[in-house]
């Protein structure tokens, strides 16, 4: 197998990440066939990965997306329809949402565990000719993202303050969004939403556990639609949503509509947009379909390290189960 690291120099923390990667790969010199490719522009990762797959159709290839969720999405598009190729992520972006499904970035930054990772077929979302590993969302979240994109390079309200600016703008303008959502043909709202997430992963927006029950191998999408609420209620409950306990919290019973399904259709007025793995796409009538086991994703082995107290507690518990001897 060839191991190809696709590094995005524009990703959030890529400078630190690539140094860590290179220093740890040196020990594999002469033992592992690997290379590092530096992307040059948006979309370049997809072009490169697809070309390599087509140039080496008989070689097992594993591509490592070295960047954030956007880089991972580009690598994903490159391996679609290429059964000899698989992918994983070396997370050095700003959000790294998808790897949180598996426990977080730290696990994937262990180069030895990542190279030795087990390849698992996972579900992928498709919208027309676009694909998503993690989450497709719309409503409040996309309003935040659109504002961030618009002010990112502006003084005072941009830069590190862009997210705050996006939240404040959405609180003023995006508390009630026009769109009708259908899950497997069933209409699940009255034409208004605060926000909606359609997920195979579990996290969105850097730290919001939007889909705590997600399973990206079950052939089903997780759909969580939040109905319009007041700003006061939003501020009071947003941390519950962030922590991922909203599906079990009684205060959300009348606020959330939750479904699992194979397809989601969204109908909205002109000018509507959704966010696909962080990319903003303007479209007002679209269908999200789940594609079961579409690609193979390498997951690092989970290291189970117990401290002495944990071991002692387990030994005591086992001892209590055993019959006493005389």
Cα atoms found within 13 Å of the Cα of residue 54, Cβ hemisphere only: 8
Q: pLDDT band at 303, cuts 50/70/90?
A: low
Residue 192 has pLDDT above 70, yes or no: yes
Every domain of the chain and the residues it spans = 2-116, 135-293
48 touches 258 (CB < 8 A): no
Q: Does domain 2-116 have CATH number 1.10.600.10?
A: no
pLDDT at 321 (0 to 100): 43
pLDDT at 253 (0 to 100): 92
Residue 305 has pLDDT above 70, yes or no: no
Contacts 24+ apart (CB under 8 A), 252-256: 254/227, 255/226, 255/227, 255/229, 256/224, 256/225, 256/226, 256/227
Residue 306 has pLDDT above 90, yes or no: no
- Quick: pLDDT tens for 168-183: 999 999 999 999 999 9
Calculate mean pLDDT across residues 155-163.
80
Q: pLDDT band at 323, cuts 50/70/90?
A: very low
Q: Which of 178, 4, 179 is nearest to 79 (CA)?
A: 4
Distance of CA 273 to the CA centre of its chain: 18
Provide the β-strand partners of residue 187: 182
Chain-wide mean pLDDT for the chain? 90
- Quick: pLDDT tens for 81-110: 999 999 999 998 877 899 999 999 999 999
pLDDT at 218 (0 to 100): 97
Calculate mean pLDDT across residues 12-32.
82
Q: pLDDT band at 157, cuts 50/70/90?
A: confident
Q: pLDDT band at 304, cuts 50/70/90?
A: low
Calculate mean pLDDT across residues 104-122.
95
Residue 320 has pLDDT above 50, yes or no: no
Calculate mean pLDDT across residues 226-244.
95
Specify the higher pLDDT residue, 303 or 240: 240
pLDDT at 313 (0 to 100): 44
- Hey, which of 8-17, 53-62, 144-153 has the most confident mean pLDDT? 53-62
| Weakest mean pLDDT among 90-99, 247-256, 259-268 | 90-99
| CATH T-level fold of 135-293 | Tumour Suppressor Smad4 (2.60.200)
**Gap between the Cα atoms of 237 and 112, Å rounded:** 40
24 touches 260 (CB < 8 A): no
Residue 54 backbone dihedrals phi, psi, to 5 degrees: -75, -30
pLDDT at 134 (0 to 100): 96
pLDDT at 105 (0 to 100): 92
**Gap between the Cα atoms of 292 and 219, Å rounded:** 5
Sequence-distant (6+) residues with CB within 8 A of 150 are none
Under DSSP, is residue 83 helix (H, G, I), strand (E, B) or coil? coil
Specify the higher pLDDT residue, 157 or 116: 116
As a whole-number percent, the residues of the chain with pLDDT over 70 amount to 91
Calculate mean pLDDT across residues 152-162.
80
Calculate mean pLDDT across residues 1-25.
84
Q: What is the DSSP string of 162-215?
A: HHHHHHHHHHHH-SSEE-EEEETTEE-SSSEESEEEEESSS-BTTTB---TT--
- Quick: pLDDT tens for 36-68: 999 999 999 999 999 999 999 999 999 999 999
């Amino acid at each position: 197998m060839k191991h190809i690291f696709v590094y995005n120099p524009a990703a959030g923390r890529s400078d630190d990440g690539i140094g860590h990667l290179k220093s740890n790969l040196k020990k594999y010199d002469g033992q592992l066939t690997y290379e590092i490719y530096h992307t040059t522009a948006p979309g370049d990762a997809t072009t490169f990965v697809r070309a390599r797959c087509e140039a080496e159709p008989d070689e097992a290839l594993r591509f490592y997306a070295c960047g954030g969720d956007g880089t991972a999405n580009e690598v994903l598009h490159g391996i679609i329809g290429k059964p000899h190729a698989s992918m994983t992520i070396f997370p050095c972006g700003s959000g790294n949402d998808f790897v949180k499904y598996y426990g977080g970035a730290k696990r994937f930054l262990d180069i030895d565990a990542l190279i030795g990772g087990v390849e698992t077929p996972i579900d992928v979302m498709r919208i027309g000719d676009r694909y998503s590993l993690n989450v497709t969302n719309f409503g409040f979240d996309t309003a935040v993202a659109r504002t961030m994109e618009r002010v990112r390079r502006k003084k005072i309200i941009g830069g590190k303050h862009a997210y705050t600016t996006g939240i404040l703008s959405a609180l003023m303008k995006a508390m009630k969004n026009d769109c009708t959502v259908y899950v497997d043909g069933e209409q699940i709202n009255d034409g208004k939403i605060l926000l909606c997430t359609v997920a195979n992963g579990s996290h969105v927006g850097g730290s919001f556990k939007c889909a705590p029950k997600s399973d990206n191998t079950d052939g089903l999408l997780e759909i969580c639609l939040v109905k319009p609420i007041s700003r006061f209620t939003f501020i009071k409950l947003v941390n519950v949503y962030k922590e991922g306990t909203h599906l079990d919290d009684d205060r959300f019973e009348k606020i959330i509509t939750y479904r699992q399904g194979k397809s989601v259709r969204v109908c909205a007025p002109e000018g509507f947009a959704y966010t696909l793995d962080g990319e903003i796409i303007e479209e007002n009538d679209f269908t999200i379909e789940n594609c079961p086991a579409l690609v193979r994703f390498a997951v690092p082995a989970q290291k189970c390290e117990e401290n002495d107290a944990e071991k002692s507690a387990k030994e005591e518990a086992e001892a209590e189960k055993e019959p006493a001897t005389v």
